[in-house]
Chains A and B, each alone.
Chain A
Amino acid sequence: MSDVEARPSAPSIPYREMEDSHELSHISHGAEQELLTLNIGPHHPATHGVLRLLTTLEGEVVRDIKPIIGYVHTGIEKTAEDKAYWKVIPVVERMDYLAYYFNAMAFCGAVETLLELEVPRRAQYLRVLHLELNRIMSHLVWLGTSALDLGAISMFWYCFRDRETILDLFEMSSGQRMHTRYIQVGGVIEDIPTGFDAKVREFIADMPDRVDQFLDLLAKNEIVLHRLRGVAAVDEETLLALGVTGPLLRAAGNPWDLRKAAPYSSYDEFDFGIPVGTVGDNWDRFAVRAQEMKESVKIIEQALDGMPEGEYVSPNRKYALPPRHELATSMEALIHHFKLVTEGFRVPPGEVYYPIEGPRGELGCFVRADGSSKPARVHMRDPSFVNLQATKPMVQDLYIADLIATLAMLDPVLGGIDR
């Protein structure tokens, strides 16, 4: 198109050069280009949730974009203020519905910091094991739906097939496929059952090959390469100014990962790499997440190999439920159980911010306790909510088709954005 300036971010991409070769200067138009405002969403399969995008187009090129959110706001933070601490876990899990272990971990970590409650090492390992399974699961959903946006529908089936295996593992260890309520204040709700170890090993033996298969399908696919390479590159400084974290920031070459930088839940005992990109375009975002799945597999394997013996939940009965079998024999256990289930535990006054590395970036939970058994404020710093602000610098002056691909690579989860 003659009337659109060539983009510096996308040099020498054949299909765009072909586009450019279409000479359109014979089409007359006014001195100023006419701009079209196009509304995308809130219900649109490519917005990955109930996201509305108000785009201003000049021909096919996005000149301005405004994300509009709030369509699935459910007031979870308000609800949390009306519940005892342990009853908050199921509601915060439902924020980012692809990262429920992470939501629970951030909240429980904040409460444990307020209580100064020590989490047994086995519980920490069990948490890491499930967090990393969750990370793979979340990335699989991202990969499947993103590939779908690019037109590769078979990827969607392959990714959801493997995601199903992880959900079965979650069901085995906690009884639930989603929103498992597995992570508790002080540890986890139950030890892993017999046979879980073997099932996870079966899965992690397969998973790296599966990632390679996905990459064979996509990474050498000319259409995918053309759609991703050199598109929507945003430099590190812009991303940092916008508060972007997680794979998006790592794709731009900044190896910031809270699991390494500020280890929690004994992540310092694991040996894993942090994949980083170079220029921060859509291809880097894709490649970083794909490699992260392999790194997560490494962590899971080490967690299984090094799983310490011991308690799976803090033995402090003031905060953690006693095991079911004790209720029949121990009067004290019954009293603790009754106290915890009816009133919950009280948390000393204070304010704590507990950040962890979620699949989409820094997931921080801010909890203010006022000394009662209900939190006075629960606030999630959801990475999607903050990362969404980077949409405009990413897609400005790109074609609208690239907007869809970029949004997929941004990986927003609207449940987490709207809370």
Chain B
Amino acid sequence: MPDATGLELLAADLRGAHGDDTVLGTEHFRGKAAFAIAPARVREVLAFLRDRGFSFLASVHGLDYYPEEPRLGVQYEMLDMREVDRLTVRLRVPIDEPTVPSVTEDWPTADHQEREIWDMFGVVFEGHHDLRRILMPEDYEGHPQRRDFPIGGEPVFFTHNESRFPRYTGQ
């Protein structure tokens, strides 16, 4: 893991290469380094980190910080297999304009995971070649992993109650 100093040095390099507004903050928590970055710069930042050895995108997570603003978050877990080093890149977008540039062109592994985050949180990945729902049915409305989406908010369909739910009346 880059230590706190290494993280600051990396952040300074990143600011030097892509402008002061690229890195919004750094955090070193439980031995793990993380950047907060401007959402629009994600592709440049990940490309920069790839040159620094973080050449494996281990995972992409979606989050909802409800009730904090900006609400939606996307995190990229970068891995350097040679140095066995991990780094998190975090970004947050407001719920009324949840757009993030897609990184699938540079990192094909993000394909399924960006689709999952679109499906669950409604983050729009611009430039994704096939941004469709992946886990929920295609005709599903809403993004169920958002914190204000009620758990158990949907009826469970059985044969004895199918007439009560319009979707199953056959119209």
Contacts and interface: CB of A to CB of B under 8 A. Distances in A.
Residues of B contacting A: mostly: mixed
Contacts of A256: 81
B75 to A, nearest CB: 7
Nearest to B130: A66
Interface string B92-119: 0000000000000001111111001000
A262 B59 contact: no
A377 B136 CA distance: 18
B30 interface: yes
Given A73-B135, A242-B108, A353-B86, A362 B58 contact: yes
Contact of A377 (B63, B111, B135): B63
Interface in A180-210: none
A113 to B, nearest CB: 5
A116 interface: yes
A350 interface: yes
A97 interface: no
B112 A388 contact: yes
Nearest to A74: B135
A70 B135 contact: yes
Which 5 pairs between the two chains have the least Cβ-Cβ distance?
A: A243-B109, A381-B59, A70-B135, A73-B135, A379-B61
A419 B58 contact: no
A243 B76 CA distance: 12
Nearest to B119: A70
B121 to A, nearest CB: 10
B78 to A, nearest CB: 11
A377 B137 CA distance: 22
B63 to A, nearest CB: 5
Interface of B: 29-30, 32, 34, 55-59, 61-64, 75, 77, 81, 84, 86, 88, 107-113, 116, 120, 133-137, 144-145, 147, 149, 151
B151 A79 contact: yes
A243 B30 contact: no
A82 interface: yes
B9 to A, nearest CB: 22
B104 to A, nearest CB: 10
Interface in A360-403: 362, 364, 366, 368, 376-377, 379, 381, 385-386, 388-389
Nearest to B107: A241
Nearest to A240: B56
A53 interface: no
Contacts of B111: 389
Nearest to A352: B30
Given A353-B77, A379-B62, A389-B112, 4 more contacts: A353-B32, A353-B75, A389-B111, A419-B135
A256 B84 CA distance: 10
A75 interface: yes
Nearest to B66: A376
A301 B93 CA distance: 50
Interface string A333-366: 0000000000000000011110100000010101
A69 B84 CA distance: 32
A114 B30 contact: yes
A372 B62 CA distance: 20
A350 B30 contact: yes
Contacts of B107: 241, 243
Nearest to A77: B145
Contacts of A78: 144-145, 149, 151
B30 A113 contact: yes
B135 to A, nearest CB: 4
30 contacts: A69-B135, A70-B133, A70-B136, A73-B135, A77-B120, A78-B151, A81-B147, A81-B151, A116-B30, A240-B56, A241-B108, A243-B57, A243-B58, A243-B109, A243-B110, A256-B81, A350-B30, A351-B34, A351-B75, A353-B86, A362-B58, A366-B77, A377-B61, A377-B63, A381-B77, A386-B59, A386-B112, A386-B113, A389-B111, A418-B135
